[in-house]
């Protein structure tokens, strides 16, 4: 399964919401430095879908706020 997420780094709290257009909006506390925000995004997505972090990959958007994420089973 693949999902599109929009990331908001340096937020006050961690949060994930699915918007009406099907895109997930994810707020992360980490800054977008050295992949810290990406790691937190993977952790949040894994927790939301109840899977291991090793099953979540960023396919596109490593350095942008909009990312294509693949969720394996």
Which CATH class, in words, describes the domain spanning 2-71?
alpha beta
Q: What is the pLDDT of residue 73?
A: 74
Q: What is the mean pLDDT of residues 11-19?
A: 97
Q: What is the pLDDT of residue 72?
A: 92
Q: Which sequence spans correspond to the domains of the chain?
A: 2-71
**How many residues make up the chain in this entry?**
73
Residue 5's pLDDT band, with cuts at 50, 70 and 90, is very high
Q: What are phi and psi of 44, to 5 degrees?
A: -65, -45
| Residue 66 buriedness (CB in 10 A; 0-12 / 13-18 / 19+) | exposed
Strands (E), the chain: 2-8, 15-18, 24-27, 56-60, 66-71
pLDDT at 22 over 80: yes
Q: What is the pLDDT of residue 69?
A: 98
Flag whether the pTM goes above 0.75.
yes
List helix spans (H) across the chain. Answer: 36-49
């Amino acid at each position: 399964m693949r999902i599109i997420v929009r990331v908001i780094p340096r937020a006050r709290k961690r949060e994930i919401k699915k918007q009406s257009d099907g895109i997930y909006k994810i707020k992360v506390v980490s800054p977008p430095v050295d992949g810290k925000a990406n790691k937190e995004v993977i952790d949040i997505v894994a927790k939301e879908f109840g899977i291991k972090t090793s099953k979540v990959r960023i396919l596109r958007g490593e350095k942008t706020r909009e990312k294509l994420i693949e969720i394996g089973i």
